Amino acid sequence: MRRLGIAFLGLGLVALGLVVGTVGAQEGFLDGTRDPAHPYDAQIRDNTRALISEGRNTFRYDTFGSEAFFGNTIGLHKAIEGDKFGGVVGGVSPKAALGVGLKVDADALPPEVVQAIQAGQVNLDDPAVTLTLLKLGAVVGVTGIFNDADQPTQGLKAVGIQCALCHSTVDDSFAPGIGHRLDGWPNQDLNVGAVINLAPDLSAVDRLLGVDDATTRKVLQSWGPGKFDAELFMDGKAFRPDGGDAATLIPPAFGLAGVNLHTYTGWGSVTYWNAFVANLEMHGQPGTFYDPRLDNAEKFPVAARSGFGHVSTPPGEDRISPKLPALHVYQLALPAPTPPAGSFDTAAADRGKVVFNGPGKCASCHVPPTFTEPGWNMHTAQEIGIDDFQANRSPDGRYRTTPLAGRLFNRTRGFYHDGRFATLPDVVNHYDDVLKLGLTDAQKQDLVAYLKSI
């Protein structure tokens, strides 16, 4: 018997060696330094590369036709260019644009423009410079469509927006607000409401929501930086029962691979939400979107009367649906960023990990490495000890367990869906109360260090 056991062990080790050998042979699969064993493997490799690069393009640069809404319908471009270039009022200078949190992609600036800025020869108070930046494709998440493509001074015909407007920022390497793009990092400075409020004609939004213009503008103004209310255009609920604004924090779009449901309230998968956003929030067109849950007139009065759950476009004319596969792959490829060395106490973080996985009970919901549950990652408001206002604005009436990696160390707008907890110690104290954990002060501090480290 024992002999047989040893023989099996020997066989097992041989098998393990084979497995390790096979893993070794995969090195160079994507970079092409080794020939794939089979033509289908080569096809997988080429497909992966093509999807990632097409998806990145879509994420960064595709307006999905949203210029029809932001340009023709609400006239945002007129406010940006100002009356000097055929628009309205003074226009938006680069300083003002940076002031509402818009970011500039330094890699899109040609060397002569970089030099001119460095030499102080560019007037950042002049809206004409904003037009130049738009012409260069340097305003992250916003595309200008010009009356004359060669003459930015002939003014804008429209502007369209991209995913990158909210879900990218820059690393500030050139100046505050100007640097290399960081795809998937939430723009915590962007004041979406203030940007839309610049538009001269919001009557289409007033009609959609069934309110007067002053109300629309008051609601937009209530969100503040780093927030947006995606559910407003479904249910028309502009304020919380306690009178606070009903917007949520703009979440990261990285670190989502392996996570089942998305958005703070688990509306669906990443690709579900991408289709939702492109069709219903960015007002992309023409596209296709199907979700009969939005026919529930009690829960989603605005969506139900507008037919948002039944957007359809004949194949061939649909501008959104063909983009969704690659966009999905690119988003899932965005890794959670690593907190910088020195930004947390490593010894405390090591001890905090033990609290997270043990007495803190955190890992019972935030299961590493995704830090959300494999499976149906949803909880009632009661389970996490908060009100159910936002949960009830979604089909399932619950909150999704937020994946935590890479999103806590540099947060500036608070934690939880609406930023209600200003600091991580506030979050930990909340759980200590609600889950009756009885953590010591030392355990709480260690737990916070761990949260900053993931």
Q: Point out which residues bind ligand HEC (CB under 6 A).
A: 161, 163, 165-167, 192, 228, 230-231, 248, 250-251, 253, 256, 262-265, 270, 273-274, 277-278, 282, 327, 331, 360-362, 364-366, 379, 383-384, 386, 399, 401-402, 404, 407-408, 415-417, 427-428, 431, 447, 451
Of 85 and 356, CB closest to ligand HEC: 356
Of 154 and 222, CB closest to ligand HEC: 222
Q: From the CB of 388, what's the least distance to ligand HEC, in Å?
A: 10
Q: From the CB of 162, what's the least distance to ligand HEC, in Å?
A: 7
Of 109 and 192, CB closest to ligand HEC: 192
Beta-carbon contacts of 333 under 8 Å, excluding residues fewer than 6 positions away, are 52, 55, 257
Residue 167 contacts residue 250 (beta carbons within 8 Å): yes
Q: From the CB of 234, what's the least distance to ligand HEC, in Å?
A: 10
Q: From the CB of 218, what's the least distance to ligand HEC, in Å?
A: 18
Q: From the CB of 36, what's the least distance to ligand HEC, in Å?
A: 30
Q: How many CB atoms lie within 10 A of CB 347?
A: 9
Of 78 and 452, CB closest to ligand HEC: 452
Of 401 and 445, CB closest to ligand HEC: 401
Amino acid at 252: P
Distance between CA 223 and CA 87 in Å, rounded? 26
Find how far residue 454's CA is from the centre of its chain. Answer: 19
Q: From the CB of 378, what's the least distance to ligand HEC, in Å?
A: 8
β-strands 178-179, 104-105 pairing: parallel
In which element (H, E) is residue 160 found?
strand 156-161
Of 109 and 329, CB closest to ligand HEC: 329
Of 155 and 360, CB closest to ligand HEC: 360
Q: From the CB of 210, what's the least distance to ligand HEC, in Å?
A: 21
Written as six digits, the tokens of 59 are 């994420």
Of 129 and 447, CB closest to ligand HEC: 447
Q: Is 285 left (phi over 0), alpha (psi -120 to 50) or beta?
A: beta
Of 113 and 303, CB closest to ligand HEC: 303
Question: HEC string of 316-377?
Answer: CCCCCHHHHHHHHHHHHHCCCCCCCCCCCCHHHHHHHHHHHHCCCCHHHCCCCCCCCCCCCC
* Rg (the chain; Cα; Å): 25
Q: From the CB of 387, what's the least distance to ligand HEC, in Å?
A: 10
Pick from 161, 140, 159, 157: which is nearest to 85 by CA? 157
Q: From the CB of 149, what's the least distance to ligand HEC, in Å?
A: 25
**3-class state of residue 182 by DSSP:** strand
One DSSP character per residue, 410-454 reads: T--S-BSTT--B-SHHHHHHHHHHHTT----HHHHHHHHHHHHH-
What is the residue whose two structure tokens read 């619950």? 398
Cα atoms found within 13 Å of the Cα of residue 236, Cβ hemisphere only = 19
Of 163 and 303, CB closest to ligand HEC: 163
One DSSP character per residue, 249-274 reads: EPPPSSS-TT--SBTTTT-B-HHHHH
Q: From the CB of 195, what's the least distance to ligand HEC, in Å?
A: 9
Q: From the CB of 421, what's the least distance to ligand HEC, in Å?
A: 8
What is the residue whose two structure tokens read 């009903």? 246
Burial per residue of 220-244, b for 16 or more beta-carbon CB atoms within 10 angstroms, e otherwise: bebbebbbbbbbbbbbbbbeeeeee
Of 106 and 190, CB closest to ligand HEC: 190
